[in-house]
Amino acid sequence: EILKAEVKSRALKKSLEDVSKRILAGESLNKSLEKHPNVFNQFYRSIIRIGEETGSLEDNLKYLASQIQSDYDMKKKMKGAMLYPLIVIVLALIIALAVTIFILPKILNIFTVLDVKLPLTTTILIGSVYFLQKNWFFLIIGVIFLIILYRVLKRFLFFRYYFDKLFLASPVFGQINRNLILSRFAQSFYTLLKSGVPILESIEIISQTTTNEVFRRDIISLKLEVEKGGKISQGLSSFRATFPLIFGQMVSVGEKSGSLENSFRYLSKFYQKEVNSGLKTLSSVLEPVLLIVVGLFVAFIALSIITPIYQFSGSLKLR
């Protein structure tokens, strides 16, 4: 009742009202939450179910809160790291379009009447401006079409698998994304095991909550290996493309020493640090690259405009 009164989201408030009614009618918390899978996913509900069955609901809610806080902090760091480059790129595009559409046409019209041979940079600039003026609408439609096509194809597992595989293979962003998925996998496994969820059920839950199709397929295969009686570390060693050697070795140490939970906790923290390090490196690399790109663009425009003016003034002096 307190949560329902404090929540600002209408959708969440409506869900909590229904949960409250069901609990008052005698349903368990887990059964009440099952009616709202879009708000409370299977990972969330499984931890609460085990907590209710074992009488450790309070502790399980603490583990769940820690998991959600960890995911939130990681998303916040990702957004924070990409905010500055995104602002620079958007502003650069807006300025470039404004200059190209409103300012350059007035200046370039002068060059068409000058009796001088235009340099290559000016010719390229004039051609680009005229192309944008004539085809800007089709370019916008094309970009919108590509975005819609990408979202539609992502709904099909076949295309999503190759999109995710291609993204993982990218030099910088792919490695950061891989480390982020590994960190979430380890953190989720730790939280589920700590909450008392069985290993096979934990793997099943993680496979359903993993958004990357490449990792999801490997996790499903991992479950099949464990169902046959194999160890988690043995299954992970079969997927070197997604799970590094050190990941499987740390899990193996946890299995042999009886501290599998602690191994996953250590791996989660380790890959969180790797993600943080990757984001810092990305920011430090992107900033000078963006400045160089913007500087080259400005220099190209300046050179394209100033060069023919100097040529024309030089021809007047000779005359």
For 87-124, write each residue's pLDDT tens digit: 877 887 787 777 777 777 777 667 666 666 777 887 88
Q: What is the mean pLDDT of the chain?
A: 85
Say if residues 221 and 200 touch (Cβ distance below 8 Å): no
Amino acid letter at 7? V
Q: What is the pLDDT of residue 70?
A: 85
- Has residue 214 got a pLDDT over 80? yes
Rounded distance, CA 192 to CA 200, Å?
11
Nearest Cα residue to 276 out of 183, 191, 186 = 183
Whether the predicted pLDDT of 317 surpasses 60? no
- Among left, alpha and beta (phi > 0; psi -120 to 50; other), residue 55 is left
pLDDT tens-digit series, residues 169-179: 988 888 888 99
Percent of the chain scoring above 70 in pLDDT? 95
Using the predicted structure, report yes or no on whether residue 132 has a pLDDT greater than 60: yes
